[in-house]
Amino acid sequence: MALLLNAEHAFGLEDFESTAKIVKFAIVPKKHEEPDQSPKEELMSFEAAMLPHLDAAHNLARWLLRNEQDAQDVVQEAYLRAFKSFGGFHGSNGRAWLLTIVRNTSYTLLKKNHAVDLTTTFDEEIHGSGRESVSPATILEHAEDAELVKQAMDELPAEFREILALRHQEGLSYKEIADIAQIPLGTVMSRLARARDKLKECLAARIGKEK
Amino acid sequence: MNCEETTKLMDGYLDGELDAITNQAIEQHLLECHNCDQVYKTQRSLIRAIGSATPYYKAPSELRERIQSSLRKEIAEQSNGSGIPVDARPLIAKEHAESRSILFGTSWNWLALAAAIVFAAVIVWNVVPRLQRPAADQFLATQLIASHVRSLMANHLTDVASSDQHTVKPWLDAKLDFAPAVVDLSTDGFPLIGGRLDYLDNRPVAALIYGRRKHFINLFVWPAGSNTIGAANAMSHQGYQLLHWVDSDFNYWAVSDVNANDLQTFKNKFEEQTSHH
């Protein structure tokens, strides 16, 4: 190795006493290791508790972000966050706890991307049209059409997509939904009702267009 | 209960989230009011349709793997971060920069500077490699332990499961650009369980798996480079025992949760057997 006598070397290590201090510093760190549960044990109990909810986590993120790549990134990030705060989790409902983190991580990304549809104020004129011309019976006929329902649901604002996925796909109770979406229990029912109404409207609009 | 109230509570009723008394009141109203009953039936069908028609996005299997490896990386970084004075170095250098002006600010001359440079050169030459060595060693140790833990955790202990050294060795030889010695040590209490490919120290390596009572020993083998550390070297890290040695051809790292003596015995037996081959 050719030794470069540059300034950094010169004053980085010029007096022997300080160099000795570095050596001391390098030897000490064993003390800093966590004495309680080993990281391996913690990881194992974390994975046993949380990996079973991976599908639920992915499904929620996918509905919120409407994009597979973003959903995967968010879920990975959420698991990492969950692992870091796993020590503070003492509840029994691991799924709701994890989904809360997935939801928050998803919203962080949505906000960062300046998503315009975070809340429920969106254009009534476009989405409200066609309601009168399409009967509930016609809507029901089309409600089995998975692709149509998916498209209609993707049109909804995030908080509606979220509550529909949590209720209809995860089958969560109002209480669990209130915890995850961080809204009062009383709001869950009204928001769910509005989400279903909006979904009907979007379906009606699509059916109306197809005609 | 009237129509307005019923409409307002309809979703809660359909979701089974109302209390028993309200439930009963709505049921009663639906029996009496044809309009509300129609609304109820339509809404019920719609809710069922949403439930069955909306796609459920199951997680792809790669995502699981991605998460598991990112968690292991996180652990490795955590344990690594506490041990290595990587961040401390610039800090120390900065302190020196400040003290330098006090030391040399008043009466420094070229001779003193030259002497200081020579002295610094000697220190850099001698001390720095010694400082860096434990850091590199610790990093590798963390990698080795992560690899050992992963092999036990992810149901991927072996790529080739066999207690027959004549099955394991050709399998590994075919996959790697070197041919590690494989011996069965079951008569010594370390039965060969199988072999695996792994990736460590920026290269593919062979992992031989031996049993010791209910425990496993991962023996990682790769060709010895010119920059390897010579002497046998035992260390304990995160509750695991690591034993490192080098022979004329290979670098060996044994990792396990067995006690240090067992690992030492394992090494001796392994060396005995390989020298016979």
Q: With contacts defined as CB-CB under 8 Å, which chain B residues touch A11? A: 93, 96-97, 100, 120
Percent of chain A at pLDDT exceeding 90: 41
Q: How far apart are CA B31 and CA A30, in angstroms?
A: 74
Which ipTM was obtained for this model?
0.75
Q: What is the mean pLDDT of residues A168-181?
A: 91
Mean confidence (pLDDT) of chain A:
78
Six-digit token pair at A155?
């049109």
pLDDT of residue B15: 92
The region, left, alpha or beta by phi > 0 then psi within -120 to 50, assigned to residue B2 is beta
- CA A44, CA A42: separation in Å to the nearest integer? 5
Q: Which helix (H) or strand (E) holds B135?
A: helix B110-153
Tokens 């292991």 map to which residue?
B72
Kindly determine whether residue B47 and residue A8, on different chains, have CB atoms separated by under 8 Å: no
Contact A199 B50 (CB under 8 A): yes
Is pLDDT above 90 for A207?
no
Tell me if A176 sits within 8 A of A96, measured CB to CB.
Answer: yes
Cβ atoms A99, A56 nearer than 8 A: yes
Q: Is the whole model's pTM more than 0.80, yes or no? A: no
Flag whether pLDDT at A161 surpasses 90.
Answer: yes
Q: Which two tokens stand for residue B150?
A: 């992963």
* Chain A touched by B65 (CB under 8 Å): no
CA angle B193/B196/B201 to nearest 5° reads 130
Inter-chain CB proximity B123 and A16 less than 8 Å: yes
pLDDT at A10: 42
CB-nearest partner of B127 from A19, A139, A192: A19
Q: Nearest C-alpha of chain B: how many angstroms from A155? A: 13
Other Cβ atoms less than 10 A from the Cβ of B117: the count is 17
Q: Closest approach of chain B CAs to the CA of A125, in angstroms?
A: 23
Residue B277: CA count within 13 A, CB half-sphere: 14
A14·B100 Cβ contact <8 A: yes
User: Cα separation of A179 and A189, whole Å?
Assistant: 13
Could you report the per-residue pLDDT of A32-86, keeping only the tens digit for each? 444 456 788 889 889 988 998 999 999 999 999 999 999 999 999 999 999 998 8
Per-residue confidence (pLDDT) for residue A118, from 0 to 100: 61
Q: How many residues does chain B have?
A: 277
Q: What percent of chain A has a predicted confidence (pLDDT) above 70?
A: 73
- With CA atoms as reference, the chain B residue closest to A169 would be B51
For residue B58, list chain A residues with Cβ-Cβ distance below 8 A. 55, 58-59
Residue A164 CB partners (closer than 8 Å, separation 6+): A63, A153, A156, A192, A195, A196, A199, B50, B54
Q: What are the 10-residue block averages of pLDDT along chain B, 277 residues in total?
A: 91 92 93 93 86 86 92 83 44 41 52 77 67 66 83 77 85 87 88 89 88 87 70 74 86 87 89 79
* Residue B106 distance to chain A (closest CA, Å): 16
Asked if B84 and B138 count as a contact pair (C-beta separation under 8 A), the reply is: yes
B125 and chain A in contact, CB less than 8 A: yes
Contact A146 B53 (CB under 8 A): yes
**What is the distance between the alpha carbons of residues A188 and A176, in angstroms, rounded to a whole number?**
10
Q: What is the pLDDT of residue A11?
A: 43
List, for residues A97-143, the tens digit of each pLDDT value.
999 999 999 999 998 887 666 655 544 444 444 445 677 778 877 77
Which amino acid appears at position B28 of this protein? Q
Amino acid at position B216, single letter: F
User: In this predicted structure, what is the pLDDT of residue A178?
Assistant: 95
DSSP structure string for chain A: -PPP--HHHHHHS-SHHHHHHHHHHHHGGGGGS--SS-HHHHHHHHHHHHGGGHHHHHHHHHHHH--HHHHHHHHHHHHHHHHHTGGG---S-HHHHHHHHHHHHHHHHHHHTT-S-SSS---HHHHHTTTTTS-HHHHHHHTT-HHHHHHHHHHS-HHHHHHHIIIIIS---HHHHHHHHT--HHHHHHHHHHHHHHHHHHHHHHHHHH-
Does the distance separating the beta carbons of B125 and A3 come in below 8 Å? yes
DSSP, collapsed to helix, strand or coil, labels residue B155 as coil
Q: Report chain A residues whose CB lies below 8 A from the CB of B57.
A: 58-59, 62-63, 71
Q: Please report which helix (H) or strand (E) contains residue B231, including its range.
A: none
Asked if A11's CB is within 8 angstroms of B97's CB, the reply is yes
Chain A contact for B174, CB < 8 A? no
Residue A96 pLDDT: 92
Q: How far apart are CA B273 and CA A128, in angstroms?
A: 81
Higher pLDDT, A6 or B237: B237
Whole-angstrom distance, CA of residue A136 vs CA of residue A145: 15
Q: Chain B: residue nearest A16 by CA?
A: B123
Residue that wins the pLDDT comparison between B130 and A2: B130
pLDDT at position B229 is 54
Find the residue in B nearest to A34 (Cα).
B79
On whether any CB of chain A is under 8 Å from the CB of B100, the answer is: yes
Looking at residue B24, its pLDDT comes to: 92
Residue of A nearest to B116 (CA): A14
Find the radius of gyration of the CA atoms of chain B: 33
The pLDDT value given to residue B79: 73
